[in-house]
Amino acid sequence: MFVRKLRNYIRGLAIPALLLWASSAFAEYGLNLTQGVTPISREVYDLHMIILYVVTAIGLAVFAVMFWSIFHHRKSKGAVAAQFHHSTSVELAWTIIPVIILVVMAIPATKTLIKMEDTTDAEMTIKVTGLQWKWKYDYLGEDISYFSSLDDRSNSIRKGESSEKAEDYDNYLLEVDNPVVLPINTKIRILTTAADVIHAWWVPALGWKRDAIPGFINDNWTYIEEPGIYRGQCAELCGRDHGFMPIVVNVVSKEDYQTWLTSMKNKPAELDPVKLYKTHCAACHQENGQGLPPVFPALAASPIATGPAEGHIDIVLNGKPGTAMLAFGAQLSNEELAAIITYERNAWGNDTGDSVSAEDVQAAR
């Protein structure tokens, strides 16, 4: 154990030193922005490299002059201070030249930005909804809608419930249970919004991120040219588990995408209450129902989960304003809600014996 830790430490120190020698390895260790897999992401990468070269050149020039001066114009070398303190021509030059450089930079940047904001002529649309702390994907017009949250393997490692360590798992915190599936060579409109707080949907390989904001629907698009699995993360602080709601995009051929669509449509609705509870409730109230007081109250032996069922249905349907408790009525079906509420009223010693039906939930809507 200790030896492995030590080895990791040494690796942490030695590898960057080695990298300085093997510049080809730089890309592998992710020192630079990804080029991505869309025409836009490549343009963004090019802009990034141009501006990086421009500022590097300016920096090297300015610092070269400065360090030459530091080396030569020092008192210990007998330098006598000049007394000039003004030069209109020089000052004009170093005002006008930067302006020209900036204008030259602004032109390609403007062109790319205009392209990025043009979401017309999309061939399909998906809606991405951020929730604490998972994503929901709706395929508009296809009647497909599902949640995507951190995979069990990462989850048990981060909770310390697994014998594995973060180092043992290549996709630690970058894997989900249900990835979003998209076809290649298709202009896809991606709408982002949120149900609770602000999130941001970011897959670096697509070349952009966009905030998912409650009450707003943001418009974006992508056109992915290479099949593959692309990973990203929520990029806007959204509470306790902000670091634990990754995004995985599985990009497949158009044919495979059609097959996937059909299989999703024929899939029977999941009504496993334990799984539903885990997906929608356990992030705050925990799998053992103990919550994380005082922010996230326990459900085990709670007055709401053991009191009248009407109150329980109401808070799940409508949420509790001013807290992290969401209104789940908008996200889940009557059947799913009934399954979850019934489970909560009978698990962890709550033993109310109640069975809440989909009709009860519908009546409360």
Partner 1 sequence: MSEAAVGHEDHHDDHDHKPTGIGRWLFSTNHKDIGTMYLIFSLIMFFVGGAMAMIIRAELFQPGLQYVDPQFFNSMTTVHALVMIFGAVMPAGVGLANWMIPMMIGAPDMALPRMNNMSFWILPFAFTLLLSTLFMEGGAPAGGWTMYPPLVTQTGNAFPYLIFAVHFLGISSIMGAINIIATVFNMRAPGMTFMKLPLFVWTWIITAFLLIASLPVLAGAVTMLLTDKFFGTSFFIAAGGGDPVMFQHIFWFFGHPEVYILILPAFGIVSQILPTFSRKPLFGYESMVYATASIAFLSFFVWAHHMFTVGMPLTGELFFMYATMSIAVPTGVKIFNWVATMWRGSMTFETPMLFSIAFVVLFSIGGFTGLMMAITPVDFQYHDTYFIVAHFHYVLVTGAVFALFAAVYFWLPKWTGHMYDEGLGKLHFWLSTISVNVLFFPQHFLGLAGMPRRIPDYNVQFAEWNMISSIGGFVFGVSQLILVLVVIKCIRGGEKATDEVWEGAQGLEWTLPSPPPFHTFTVPPQVTDATAHS
Q: Which two tokens stand for residue 105?
A: 């930079």
Distance CA 84, CA 308 (A): 86
Looking at the Cβ atoms of 94 and 271, the one nearer to partner 1 is: 94
Q: Beta 218-223 vs 208-212: how paired, if at all?
A: unpaired
> In the bound complex, what is the minimum distance in angstroms from residue 359's beta carbon to partner 1?
27
Nearest Cα neighbor of 282 from 357, 343, 346 is: 343
Q: Which two tokens stand for residue 248?
A: 């995985």
Q: What single string gives the DSSP state of each residue in 195-235?
A: SSS-EEEEEGGGTEEEEE-BT--EEEEEE--S-EEEEEEE-
Residue 59's contacts (CB-CB under 8 Å, 6 or more residues apart) are: none
> In the bound complex, what is the minimum distance in angstroms from residue 350's beta carbon to partner 1?
24
DSSP class of residue 178 equals S
Q: Beta 246-252 vs 180-183: how paired, if at all?
A: parallel
Looking at the Cβ atoms of 327 and 358, the one nearer to partner 1 is: 327
Which helix (H) or strand (E) covers residue 247, if one does? Answer: strand 246-252
Looking at the Cβ atoms of 169 and 260, the one nearer to partner 1 is: 169
258 Cα distance to chain centroid: 26
Looking at the Cβ atoms of 284 and 339, the one nearer to partner 1 is: 284
> In the bound complex, what is the minimum distance in angstroms from residue 205's beta carbon to partner 1?
9
Looking at the Cβ atoms of 219 and 335, the one nearer to partner 1 is: 219
Looking at the Cβ atoms of 109 and 261, the one nearer to partner 1 is: 109
Residue 241's contacts (CB-CB under 8 Å, 6 or more residues apart) are: 132, 133, 283
> In the bound complex, what is the minimum distance in angstroms from residue 272's beta carbon to partner 1?
27
> In the bound complex, what is the minimum distance in angstroms from residue 353's beta carbon to partner 1?
33
Q: What are phi and psi of 254, to 5 degrees?
A: -60, -35
In this structure, the number of other CB atoms found within 10 A of the CB of residue 291 comes to 17
Whether the Cβ atoms of residue 201 and residue 128 lie closer than 8 Å to each other = yes
Looking at the Cβ atoms of 99 and 269, the one nearer to partner 1 is: 99
Q: Beta 246-252 vs 228-234: how paired, if at all?
A: antiparallel
> In the bound complex, what is the minimum distance in angstroms from residue 349's beta carbon to partner 1?
25
> In the bound complex, what is the minimum distance in angstroms from residue 201's beta carbon to partner 1?
10
> In the bound complex, what is the minimum distance in angstroms from residue 356's beta carbon to partner 1?
25
| Residue carrying the six token digits 């941001």 | 200
Looking at the Cβ atoms of 239 and 256, the one nearer to partner 1 is: 239
